[in-house]
Amino acid sequence: MTSFRYASPLVFACVLGAAQAVEVGPDFSTLVEKAGPAVVNIRTTRTVAAHESDDPETRELFRRFFGEPLPRDHPPLPSDEAPERVRRGVGSGFIVSRDGDVLTNAHVVDGADEVYVKLADRREFRARVVGTDKRTDVAILKIDAAGLPTLTTGNSGNTKAGEWVIAIGSPFDLDNTVTAGIVSARARETGDFLPLIQTDVPVNPGNSGGPLINLRGEVVGINSQIYSRSGGFMGISFAIPIEDALRVAGQLKGSGRVTRGRMGVYLTDVDRDVADALGLANTQGGFVGRIERGGPAERAGLRDGDIIVAFNGAAIERSAQLRRLAADTRPGTTVNLTVLRNGSARHVTVTLAELEAERPAPKVRAQPAPAAPGNRLGVSVLDLTAAQKAELGARTGVVVDKVEGAAQVAGVRPGDIILALDNADVASAAAFAKQADKAGKASVLLVRRGDTSQFVMLRPEAH
Supply the residues annotated as catalytic. 107, 137, 208
Residue 108 CB: number of other CB atoms within 10 A? 28
Residues 143, 146, 149, 154, CA torsion sign = positive
Which of 139, 146, 137 has the alpha carbon at shortest distance from 119? 146
Q: How far apart are CA 394 and CA 414, in angstroms?
A: 18
Q: How far apart are CA 450 and CA 312, in angstroms?
A: 31
Instruction: Give me the half-sphere count of Cα atoms (radius 13 Å) on the Cβ side of residue 172.
Output: 7
By CB neighbour count within 10 A (0-12 exposed, 13-18 middle, 19+ buried), where does 54 fall? middle
3-state helix, strand, coil in the chain (%, to 5): 20, 35, 45
Backbone angles phi, psi at 244, to 5 degrees: -70, -40
Residue 253 CB: number of other CB atoms within 10 A? 14
Backbone angles phi, psi at 283, to 5 degrees: -100, 20
406 residue type, one letter: A
Residue 64 CB: number of other CB atoms within 10 A? 16
Which of 200, 197, 198 has the alpha carbon at shortest distance from 245? 197
Cβ-contact 333, 261 below 8 angstroms: yes
Cβ-contact 126, 45 below 8 angstroms: no
**DSSP state letter for 368:** P
CA angle in degrees (0–180, nearest 5) for 195-200-205: 85
Residue 331 CB: number of other CB atoms within 10 A? 16
Residue 218 CB: number of other CB atoms within 10 A? 19
Cβ-contact 271, 307 below 8 angstroms: no
Torsion of CA 246, 247, 253, 255, to 10 degrees: -170
